[in-house]
Amino acid sequence: MRVVQRVEADGLAIIRGMRACVLVFALGIWLCQQQAQLLAWAPLLVAALGALLAAGMLKSCARWASWSMLCLAALLTGLAYGCWRAELRLAERLAEALEGQDVTITARIVDLPQPFERGLRFQVDTLDAPPGIPPRLALAWYAKGNPMVAEQDASSIPALHAGERWRLTVRLRQPHGSINPHGFDYEGWMFERGIGATGYVRPKGSNERLAAFDATPMAYVDHWRESIRARFGKALPDSEWRGVLVALVVGDQAAIPKAQWTLFRQTGVTHLMRYW
């Protein structure tokens, strides 16, 4: 009986210790986000390995010291992981020398193109592009006059669909957003989704659809989501709740009116509409 009780006590201690390590690992990632300047992740990882080795050496003589070193190793590992991931993501931003320049890329349309009052917004994954172009871009294709595109006329733009492969001439810039207290962090939103540049399609460039569909796993998923959204549009063309239903079913929030977003914030249900 004593042996069983001791085994149970040791098992509970291990479970509690692992939970503590997970929480401390998350704390390390949080500490990375609080730094004004990104830390070098390699020395942090070496220090974490040293703390882990010390935890193993102290296990037989002082359990509390062993667990303390194990938590320290988890903290440093979380900090190193956060810095490593941030370094990779920052390396995907548009090169400064390419800002405001016309560049030609070959790209696949991902996610769901979003119509707005002056055209279409869409995201692409670059397949062939000059050095310094990020792997994912957020673009607009304007159908009407726009101050940024003086030569744009009122000609219609082609229908864009998820999974298509295009050759496009685009003008890009690094992601920027307003930093307002309690406001939407647009730059942080793009950083989270790996969008390294924003821009628009040049109307007089070499814009050509190269393939109607690229057979990739995510292309099939996005194509399926787009077809469901189109069915909602045909079945409920005038319903005020069509955008809510589309957001709940396929994660597309663009059709939800601002008035409804305000209502959701006031009632505390905004999280139900967040992108999955």
Mean pLDDT by 10 residues, the chain (276 residues): 51 67 89 86 89 77 76 90 88 86 91 85 90 91 61 64 91 81 74 87 85 82 85 80 80 77 78 60
Contact 166, 124 (CB under 8 A): yes
Taking residue 150's Cβ as centre, other Cβ atoms within 10 Å add up to 7
Q: According to the model, what pLDDT value does residue 167 have?
A: 92
Cβ-Cβ contacts under 8 Å for 190 (sequence gap 6 or more)? 138, 175, 177, 198
Q: Which amino acid is at 112?
A: L
Kindly report the pTM of this predicted structure. Answer: 0.70
Q: What does DSSP assign to residue 188? A: H
The sign one gets for the Cα dihedral 187, 191, 195, 196 is positive
Q: According to the model, what pLDDT value does residue 276 have?
A: 46
Partners of 168 in beta bridges: 105
Q: According to the model, what pLDDT value does residue 156 have?
A: 63
The interaxial angle of helices 63-90 and 2-33, nearest 10 deg, is 30
Cβ-Cβ contacts under 8 Å for 99 (sequence gap 6 or more)? 172, 173, 174
Q: According to the model, what pLDDT value does residue 122 have?
A: 92
Give the start-end residues of each E strand in the chain. Answer: 102-116, 119-128, 136-142, 165-173, 197-201, 208-211
Domain regions of the chain by residue span: 2-90, 96-211, 217-273
Q: According to the model, what pLDDT value does residue 105 have?
A: 92
Q: Which of 79, 54, 78 is nearest to 65 (CA)?
A: 54
- Range 96-211 has CATH code 2.40.50: yes
